[in-house]
Chain A
Amino acid sequence: MPTALLSATPAAAAPALLAPPAAVSLLPVRARGALRLLACGSVDDGKSTLIGRLLHETQGVLDDQLAAVTRESRRFGTTGEEVDLALLLDGLEAEREQGITIDVAYRFFSTPKRAFIVADTPGHEQYTRNMATGASTSELAILLVDARKGLLEQTRRHAAIVSLLGIRHVVLAVNKMDLVGWSHERFGEVTAAFRDFSAPLAFRSVMAIPLSARRGDNIAAASPNTPWYGGPTLLDHLETIDVADEVDSPFRFPVQWVSRPHADFRGAAGTLASGRVAVGDTVVAAASGRMTTVARIVTMDRDLPEAVAGQAVTLTFADEIDAGRGDVLVPPRERAVVSRRFSADLVWMTDEEVEAGSRYLLKIGTATVPATVTRIADRLDLASLDRVPADRLALNAIGRVHVETAVPVAFDPYAQNRATGAFILIDRATQATSAAGLVIAGLDAARDVHAQASDVDPPVRAWLKGQRPLAVWLTGMPGSGKSTIASLAERRLVALGHHTMLLDGDNVRQGLNADLGFDAPSRAENVRRVGEVARLMTDAGLIVLVALVSPFRADRDRAAALFPSDRFMEVLVHASPETCRTRDPKGLYAKAEQGRIVNFTGRDQPYEPPLSPSLVLTTDELAPAQAAERLVEAILARIRNVEPDPLDSAQL
């Protein structure tokens, strides 16, 4: 009887613990992959003890380990004369001394029916990020509740995180039932409270089990102390629960590695994130829209006729397709969303707070791209599950945001696909993992529009023009001389035989951007549109001169991120405020001074100069023609250094 084992003194318990294990012939049946689960709950609810108990009951604790724990129980234990099973898990010295779990521990045990990988995650608030970490790879969660204390703020927080991260199966382990006299009524209260709280969390199964981790009641064997409980023991439930997804998600194959061992073999190596693929299937590279047919599914063992989710394979194709790391292969009729903008929930994981305009690296699937959090929409109040307005997210906060990536990425909503809807944000300075992200939906109005691959591509167009395309972005205060310099420079470039285009802020606002004002969001949109147009024009092979106040650094950086770094050049046209005001070529300073226009850069709106422009033209000192000449020199240096992309004429 397990109950008896540890209530005895360690000395008396030892012989019983050393008893030979169950029948030797009970080799584990591994017909299914291991169930990956996590245990979470508030401090002192007994997570580590519960897992220690599971290990013990399944013969996962070996004699030398138990001897060590028995020794340590005397030194660090919190259970008096009993062996403290939590010490089996609290692996780090600091934890043993403080009696708390400070990081995720992974433990392994198996019964004859199933193998288990369990993440033991810490209960106190500052380590919520570790809980999310454990939850991200788990299929089931055990939520521990101290029967005496009931649901705590931490319990609610953990349940919400578990739900958010897509775990659909929960065990509500009402622990320490011995300390409430095995009260059926108390068990009912706790489970009812949880049912009320968790109704919106969309769990597919919630199993409430009354137990005592320390004594072993209802862990492996039904407890005589709970005759009123007719459900399964914890181990019974874990052994039998089916966590497989009900629906088959469509085929998704993030290309991880291009395999080119020799001239005759080119394959895309990766792991099927979802769905299945067979030889002969038509697949599309989501971002480019290029289509091809699967020729072989290669593994070292043998070629496969078909591969399913989770398998690591190498695909080869009927024709040369330029699918590289970061591309996602999808079926033509069930494509992923491809967009640069989407809404997402973030679990924030660093001390550095996030606010609108913060920039990161975003890793989704096998793609890592620059990204900006463009908007904080709200924050999830974990106690009430209400969403409250917020403009920043701090450590351990969860909130809805808008994200914009530098280049389009392929994804699915996390609710539909945990593998292709998850991303992380990486701090560009510290390289820390700043957030776990879950895609809610793409934000493009044209979200069902998929890229149309074109046979004539930017290198071909540039080659025809015999030049290297470049976007030259002139930023500066009104009156600093941007338009004048850009116009002179363009004349000079054309005289040298280059193909150019000038996008002047004032001109653009009369047509394309006639609907925009001058407040910060309108300016952001103004810069975004000009950036996109400049990008299209460089794709067309042109040298594009942009003359735009573009006062905000974040807006310019977003525009810059649209281009490969060698296709974009930021130029600061600088003049002192006095000089600009004196020049006032369009009479705007005068109007602003009279209060007739608002949001005027340099007066009631700040100007944020670039931090590292490629070129600074100080027009207090330089005449327009001199400044233009310097600009042309800089442009020619950029486009001359690199020959136009060599092209095989066969490609044309």
Chain B
Amino acid sequence: MRAAESLVERPVERLPAAVAPAVPAPDAAPEQAAEPRLSPHLARLEAEAIFIMREVAAEFRNPVMLYSVGKDSSVMLHIARKAFFPGRPPFPCLHIATGWDFRDVITHRDRMAATYGLDLLVHTNAEAARAGVNPFDTETGEYSRLMLTEALKSALEQHGFDAAFGGARRDEEKARAKERIFSHRRGHVWDPRNQRPELWRLFNTRIAPGDSMRVFPLSNWTELDVWDYIRAEAIPIVPLYLAAERSVLVRDDNLLVVDDERMRWRPAEVMERRMVRFRTLGCWPLTGAVESQATDLDGIITEIVTSRVSERNGRLVDGAVQASMEAKKREGYF
């Protein structure tokens, strides 16, 4: 087993040259030669995801991969590299940035883009931002709709993408549990009552002009699988996933890590130093950290196995209304 410390971000100059070679070198590691490093369980999930990605590349005109820089996106990116090796993934990566992303997320994103020579597109709903939409004043649901859903829709339309990969998993949420791997969208809208049957591995990729497909290669993964895979494959992740002593604001039972000076303070609020980490990364004012001692991947995995709270519990965006994920997906969210 590799030392978990080696996974933590290194300074950029110690990584391969910013201009990646045409054929990225395999993640060579001599000690792996004898025994496969993936359990049969993970190997099967990985092969399934590779199959899905190749199917999209072969059957769609203009696919894109939504890259949120989170742990699921990191796995997706890693698998995309495997699927098309020795070539590069034949599609660009799209990051929907809200302007309220953690700085660590942006740093990690740019480092990955440079390391792997990614064709990275970044899209922000600049109009809404100019109009003053922000996570403090705008109602959370409306903020999420404008900065994530609408931004995504306009990016997809602007580039004419007919298929978009997302890292969503069925174990995350009840509405996701019912969505197909290939999710047909008419005008981006998910119609849960009218989904195509999805048989065997025979994905029906046919769409009418103007329609699109959202594709979820990690549908059958669980949060534990994702971490187990990140550990086995030594996939670089944003350091915020690992516990560290951070300055934290305790507000309404949420632990907020204040990432820049735009924070709106309430009277008498003060920062505390606590050991925290994130299970999921969203906009920093809307994402709660969890108290944790998990400073490495082994620690995270132990924590998940013993956790009594689901991963999206820290997302203020999802919290208000039950079934809000379904409502968001009907609007065109991932």
Interface residues of chain A, those whose CB is within 8 Å of chain B, are 18, 21, 24, 26-28, 30-34, 62-65, 68, 71-72, 88-94, 96, 102-108, 110, 115, 117, 129-130, 132-133, 136-137, 256-257, 259-262, 265, 269-271, 298-302, 310-312, 314, 325, 349, 361, 363-364, 366, 418-419, 422-424, 426, 431-433, 436
**B contact residues around A363 at 8 Å (CB):** 202, 204
Contact: B47 with A64, CB < 8 Å? no
Q: Which of B178, B302, B305 has the most CB of A within 10 A?
A: B178
- B85-93, B117-125, B155-163, B238-246 - interface stretch: B85-93
**B contact residues around A26 at 8 Å (CB):** 305
**A contact residues around B6 at 8 Å (CB):** none
Would you give the shortest CB distance from B194 to chain A, in whole angstroms? 9
Would you give the shortest CB distance from B119 to chain A, in whole angstroms? 15
B131 within 8 Å of A by Cβ?
A: no
Interface majority SS on A: helix, strand, loop or mixed?
A: mixed
User: Besides the contacts A32-B40, A108-B170, what 7 more A-B pairs have beta carbons closer than 8 Å?
Assistant: A18-B308, A91-B173, A115-B41, A137-B201, A257-B58, A302-B33, A366-B55
Contact: A256 with B54, CB < 8 Å? yes
**B contact residues around A130 at 8 Å (CB):** 197
Contact: B198 with A133, CB < 8 Å? yes
B82 within 8 Å of A by Cβ?
A: yes
Which of B27, B83, B178, B208 has a CB less than 8 Å from the CB of A91? B178
**A contact residues around B202 at 8 Å (CB):** 363-364, 422-424
Contact: A261 with B23, CB < 8 Å? yes
Which of B83, B84, B192, B219 has a CB less than 8 Å from the CB of A103? B192
B107 within 8 Å of A by Cβ?
A: no
B50 within 8 Å of A by Cβ?
A: yes
Determine the distance from Cα of A300 to Cα of B29 in the docked complex, in whole angstroms: 12
Which of A21, A269, A422 has a CB less than 8 Å from the CB of B308? A21
**A contact residues around B50 at 8 Å (CB):** 271, 312
**B contact residues around A71 at 8 Å (CB):** 322
Which of B32, B199, B208, B307 has a CB less than 8 Å from the CB of A433? B199
B138 within 8 Å of A by Cβ?
A: no
Q: Which of A68, A130, A269 has the most CB of B within 10 A?
A: A269
Which of B39, B88, B302 has a CB less than 8 Å from the CB of A261? B88
Contact: B220 with A117, CB < 8 Å? yes
Contact: B58 with A300, CB < 8 Å? no
**A contact residues around B306 at 8 Å (CB):** 21, 24
B113 within 8 Å of A by Cβ?
A: no
B258 within 8 Å of A by Cβ?
A: no
**B contact residues around A117 at 8 Å (CB):** 220
Q: Which chain A residue lies CB-closest to B84?
A: A259
Q: Which chain B residue lies CB-closest to A135?
A: B199
Interface flags for B64-89 (1: CB within 8 Å of A; 0: not) read 00000000000000000111111110
Determine the distance from Cα of A265 to Cα of B197 in the docked complex, in whole angstroms: 37
Given contacts A24-B305, A361-B206, contact A302 B26 (CB under 8 A): yes
Contact: B26 with A426, CB < 8 Å? no
**B contact residues around A21 at 8 Å (CB):** 306, 308
Contact: B310 with A62, CB < 8 Å? yes
Can you give 16 A-B contacts (C-beta < 8 A)? Answer: A62-B307, A64-B313, A107-B177, A115-B222, A130-B197, A137-B200, A259-B84, A271-B47, A299-B82, A310-B44, A312-B51, A312-B54, A312-B83, A314-B85, A366-B55, A422-B199
Given contacts A62-B307, A133-B197, A262-B22, contact A92 B206 (CB under 8 A): no
Contact: A62 with B308, CB < 8 Å? yes
Contact: A94 with B83, CB < 8 Å? no
B106 within 8 Å of A by Cβ?
A: no
Would you give the shortest CB distance from A371 to chain B, in whole angstroms? 14
Contact: A436 with B174, CB < 8 Å? no
Contact: A259 with B86, CB < 8 Å? yes
Contact: A106 with B199, CB < 8 Å? no
Contact: B199 with A132, CB < 8 Å? yes
Contact: B40 with A103, CB < 8 Å? no
Interface flags for B289-310 (1: CB within 8 Å of A; 0: not) read 0000000000001100111111
**B contact residues around A299 at 8 Å (CB):** 82, 85
**A contact residues around B15 at 8 Å (CB):** none
Contact: B58 with A129, CB < 8 Å? no
Would you give the shortest CB distance from B313 to chain A, in whole angstroms? 5
Contact: B308 with A63, CB < 8 Å? yes
Contact: B199 with A424, CB < 8 Å? yes
Contact: B84 with A349, CB < 8 Å? no
Interface flags for B302-324 (1: CB within 8 Å of A; 0: not) read 10011111100100000000110
Interface flags for B221-248 (1: CB within 8 Å of A; 0: not) read 0101000100000000000000000000
Contact: B174 with A89, CB < 8 Å? yes
Contact: A96 with B197, CB < 8 Å? no
Would you give the shortest CB distance from B266 to chain A, in whole angstroms? 25
The 10 tightest CB contacts between A and B, nearest first, are A91-B174, A261-B87, A30-B41, A300-B85, A312-B50, A30-B39, A431-B206, A33-B44, A133-B197, A312-B47
Contact: B81 with A300, CB < 8 Å? yes
Q: Which of A65, A92, A298, A301 has the most CB of B within 10 A?
A: A301
**A contact residues around B171 at 8 Å (CB):** 107-108
**B contact residues around A301 at 8 Å (CB):** 26-27, 32, 37, 82
